[in-house]
Each structure stands twice: as C-alpha cells, then as structure tokens.
Amino acid sequence: MGDGLLLEFQNALDAVECGVELQRVIHVRNARKEVLPLRIRIGIHLGDVQHEGTDILGDAVNVASRLEPIAEPEGLCVSFPVYDQVRNKLPYTFENLGPKRLKGVQEPVGIYRVVFPWTGAAFTSRESVLPRLAVLPLTNISPDPKDEYFAEGLTEELITVLSQVKGLRVISRTSVSGYKGTTKPATKIGTELQADSVLIGSVRKVGNQLRIAVQLIDTRSDEQRWSQTYDRKLENIFGIQTEIAERTAAALRIELLHSDREAIQSRPTSSLSAYEAYLRGIQAIQRFHLLSSDEVDREVVQHFEEAIRHDPSFSAAYARLAIHLIEAIGETRPAAEVALRAQDLVTKALETNPNSSDGHLARAMLVWQLDLAWDRVEAELLQAITLNPSSCAARVRYGALLQVLQRWDEAQVQLRAAREQDPLGLEPRGLLAQVYVARGDLPTAISVVEVLLQDFPNMAGIRAWLAALYAWAGRREDAARMIEPFAGAPDLGSRIYRATVQLRLGREEDARALLADWEAGKISGAHIARYAAELYAMLGDKTRALALLEQDERSGERLIWQIYQARGLDSIRDDARFIALLRAENLPTTVDRPRAS
C-alpha cells in the first residue's frame, strides 16, 4: 500500500462511519495553523475478500483501491453497493458522481461522494429530502394547573427522543414553542415551519395515572397519519415515548438503525422522582431564557440537583445543568464560580453516557469559556452533531465558532442547516447576518435583520443593529429614524446603542456623555468595559481602548473573541498590544474583510 492503509470491516455501515470520523478528526487537526496539514483520500467498496497470510486480496480490494484516488484530498468516495447499504441509515449527504470505468474492473462502477459539513458545499440532497417533523407543545389538560411543567417537559423530551432517529429532522423547540395553544391548521404550520408532519397532542396527569393522546398529521394533505391514546401508569412514561418514536418512524417510512432503536428505547433514569425533577428543571430553563433572573437561575439548579440526588447516574441531568451554568455566566453567575462545578458535571455526564450529545455540547461550551482551545471546541461540537444531527444548539454554536475563526463558507453551511432546524429562531438568522456583514454583503445582511425586527419587534438590540447596518450602508436617514426610540432612554443598553450609531453618523455627544458617566462611577453593568473600549476606539482614544481590553484579559473574563471583528475597533487593529491580545485568545490577528464593505 505504500503510504496508505487497507482496512477490513464486518459491514458497510461501520466502514463509512469510521471513514467519516477519521476525516473529521483530521479536519479538526488541520484547522490548527501550527501543524503541517495531513490530507488523505478514502475509498470504500463492499464485497468478499480472500485472506493469504497477512494480506487480503480479491476484486473488492481492487475496486476499493481504485476508488481511493477518485476522492478529493480530505474526501471519501463509496461504490454503489456501499451507498445502497447505508443511504437510509446515515445522516450524511451523498453526491452521485455517476458510473465510472475503473482500471482492472470490467463493468462501470457507480460512485458517490460523502459531502462533509465543513467542505463549504451546499447543504443539499440528503438533508433536503429527509422528513421534517415538528412536535407542537402538548396541551396540559390535567386538573391541577401546576402540572403544566409535565406537559412542557414532556414536549421537549419527545423532541429529544425523536431527534435520535438519524433519518429524521426534528424542528427545534425554539421554533415550535410559539404554537402553544394554537388553532392554526396543520397545513399553515407546516408552511411556516417547513415541516412535512406535525405531532400534536395532550397530556393529563392525575397522581400516578397518565393519559397521553397524540396524532401525527401530514401538513400537505392535512390528513392523519396515525393517532393513539395511552392510558398508562407514570412509570410507563419511557415506554410511551419509545412507542411514539417507533410509530412516527414507521408512518414516515424511516428504517430505524440498531443505534436508533437503542437510543429511543433507553431509559434516561430508573427513578421517577428524578425524572419529574428533571422535567421541572427543563421548564425552569425555558423561563430563564425569557427572564435571566437570579431567582429562576436558582430554581433551575435546585430542580436538576434534586434529579441528581435521586439518581446519581442521570447523565441528561448533569449535562443540562452544566449547559445552564455555562449559559448563566455573565448573566447571573461569574465565570470563576461556575468553572469547577461545570467541569465536574460535564465529566459525570460523559462518564455515565459517553454518547450523550448534550454532554459533548456542554464540554465544547466549557472549553470555549475557560480555555479558548478552538480545535478542542470544534472536535466536541462535531461529535455532538454526529450523535444528534437534529441538535440545533450544537449547530448554532459550531456556526458561531466558525465565524469567530473567520471560516466563512463553513459557517454559512452550518448556520443554514441550523436555520432549517429552527426556522423561526433568532440565533441562526442573526449569526448568518453577521457572516454576510463580514463578507461585505450589507444588502443581504440588512434584509435578514429587517425580517428579524418584524419577528421580534420588542428587541432593542435588533433595532440598534439594524440602525448600525443602515449607517454602514450610507443610509443615514434610516439609521437616525431607527434610533429615535432610544432618545432619552435612561437604561444602559439604550444609551450604548444610541451612542454607537450616533458615532457612525459623526455625532460624538452621546458617546462622550456615556463615557463620562461611566468614568465617574455613575453607571455599571455586565461587560460595560468592552462596550466602552469600542466607543473609545471609535473616538480615536486608542490608549484607553487598549487599556480596557487588556484589563478584560487580566480579569479572566477573556471575551475579546466576542468583539474583535467589530468595525469600531479598526483604529487599533494594527497595534501590537491589540495583536498580543488576539494571540492570547488564540484568535486570527487580522480580519478578512472585503474592501467593498
């Protein structure tokens, strides 16, 4: 084989998954600029092999060896027999390269290329034809209104269980949450969510007795695919979830893999007390995302810690609590307080379940927060996506990571995929707009943010961002109109928004007044120093801007990665002190920004 390897597997599925994992690991390694890139080609064929001593021979070996050079560097090609075995069993995109004649092979061989998420290729064929399902919020019809937590938590758990089916794409909870109590017809919901089917239902909980009624509806015909009412004891809750997942897959003609069945049949915990506390924690997290208060934060932690006390092997509870604590940094908790606790939680989540997608997501978030080791973050995020291709949270963070690292093509691929999974959500579209800005496509960015403002009219940050985009695009009147609501507003956020946009329009008064109040100790707030640094840089005071950013680095917050691409920092971009800060956070020392922007 020379500089190659010849590997034998028991089945095509294992071979393809190994090939994809190998290329993923190499891709993450190659992303590190200090290493010499390693690029390999992989070819996979299915057939009988003959063993002679330490060698293996046969037509199958010959075909595989001819497929390998057809693959591009860092690529993987498979023959039609392999594709036929795995096409409905793996969540990868396969591009048909057509039949090709291979040396030493009599008949042409059909060849398919695996399209990796990081190649920059369009998010096409395989993903676009996968059935798309929306699980609408279950209606709580329990006599006790306090049992609402059970309906809300069970909705998210059904999304989680159905997401384990790799041949299915499940819409994110963020997009479906707005349909709670909706009377819209399934056809309308399907159009808005770009979903082929919707799962709707209700749950009634009385003591230890459950009644769960669900039905799957085709959004194109508005016809019922199947329906079922489950009258069971509470201890049968996991069996009900499994049955719903299996019947949904059958109705959508999805062949369940062995790994799918294992995942949807597994019981996350053997303790019902732990599970009920866990569902309460999920509901509390949803409220925390709406209102980041200390009180709700403590409630989230209390419920998940209770779940862990009832079942110390409850992997999902460890992972969810770790993710919550990391997300609370800068909102209700300082980074130093969270670090050790989150590390312990992530370790236990993956010790109890090494295949936990949320566990790997939590580890990625933790490494990002504490170490800024981008290659390790990328490896964990890719692992989370591989384990759960419907994990919108992992895709959004991967897209954000690629944006931070200025890998724009790859960022767009991941964020478009996340947008498909969360079509009504804020994050995927907002991050995509940032990529458009970075690439100099201001018109597209403006159109995306204008739609976001229509969907989230009460979010001041979106209005301010749109005003800034208008200013950058030379639309001064539109920018001034957009910041009118901030005039005279006393809150810090509004003052920062107005000051930044006014500076873009050549007016310094608001920025200087804000900075004077801050220096006098009249205002304070989370991360104000970074906003002040940008304002100082825009005002031409490089010394104060750099001092504030260096103070941020010394404090351990290490959040320069959040703002280093901002146009407001262009005046200090070539300064040696600023470049040293970027190197300290393992960031690119230049910004790849088109001149036209």
User: What CATH number is attached to the domain comprising 359?
Assistant: 1.25.40.10
CA-based torsion, 384, 385, 391, 393: positive or negative: positive
- Residue 111's domain spans which residues? 12-121
Q: 129: Cβ–Cβ under 8 A, 6 or more apart, which residues?
A: none
Please indicate, yes or no, if residue 503 is contained in any of the structural domains: no
Query: Digits of tens for pLDDT over the chain (597 positions)?
Result: 567 888 888 888 889 989 988 888 888 777 666 677 788 899 998 887 777 776 766 677 778 888 888 888 888 999 988 888 887 677 667 878 878 778 777 778 888 888 776 654 434 434 456 788 999 999 999 998 888 999 999 999 999 999 888 778 899 998 998 899 888 999 999 999 989 999 999 999 998 899 999 999 999 988 999 999 999 999 999 999 999 999 999 998 887 777 778 888 889 999 999 999 999 999 999 899 888 889 999 999 999 999 999 999 999 999 999 999 999 987 888 878 888 999 999 999 999 999 899 999 999 999 998 889 998 999 899 889 878 888 899 999 999 999 999 988 888 888 988 898 899 999 999 999 999 998 888 999 999 999 999 999 988 889 999 999 999 899 999 999 999 988 887 878 888 889 999 998 999 999 999 999 888 888 776 567 788 999 999 999 999 999 999 987 887 777 889 899 988 899 999 999 999 999 999 999 998 876 443
The answer to whether residues 81 and 207 belong to one domain is no
The CATH number that applies at residue 78 is 3.30.70.1230
In this structure, the number of other CB atoms found within 10 A of the CB of residue 100 comes to 15
Residue 83: closest CA among 124, 126, 39, 118: 126
At 37, give phi and psi (nearest 5°): -60, 140
Distances (CA, A) of 430 to 98, 357, 394, 465, 562: 38, 24, 16, 10, 14
Q: Among candidates 133, 156, 150, 160, which has minimal Cα distance to 358?
A: 160
Q: Which pLDDT score, from 0 to 100, does residue 310 have?
A: 97
Same domain as 327, residue 253: no
Structural domain count, the chain: 3
CA distance 57 to 26: 28
Residue 242 vs residues 83, 155, 249: alpha-carbon distances, Å: 29, 14, 11
The answer to the question of residue 28 being in a domain is yes
Please say whether the beta carbons of 486 and 498 come within 8 A. Answer: yes
Q: Which CATH number characterizes residue 262's domain?
A: 3.40.50.10070
Residue 152 placed within a domain: yes
Are residues 250 and 283 located together in one domain of the fold? no
Cα distance between residue 409 and residue 403, in whole Å: 9
Record the tokens describing residue 490, joined without a space.
């006393």
H-run or E-run covering 259: helix 258-265
Q: What is the pLDDT of residue 34?
A: 64
Does residue 418 form part of some domain? no
Query: Roughly how many angstroms between the first and final C-alpha of the chain, as a whole number?
Result: 50
Assess whether 137 and 247 both reside in one domain: yes
**Residue ranges with strand state E in 2-135:** 41-44, 50-52, 55-57, 75-79, 93-100, 109-115, 132-135
Q: For residues 207 and 259, state if they share a domain.
A: yes
Handedness of CA 450, 454, 458, 459 (dihedral sign): negative
Residue 197 lies in a domain: yes
Q: Which residues pair with 228 in a beta bridge?
A: 214
Q: Do 35 and 83 reside in the same domain of the chain?
A: yes
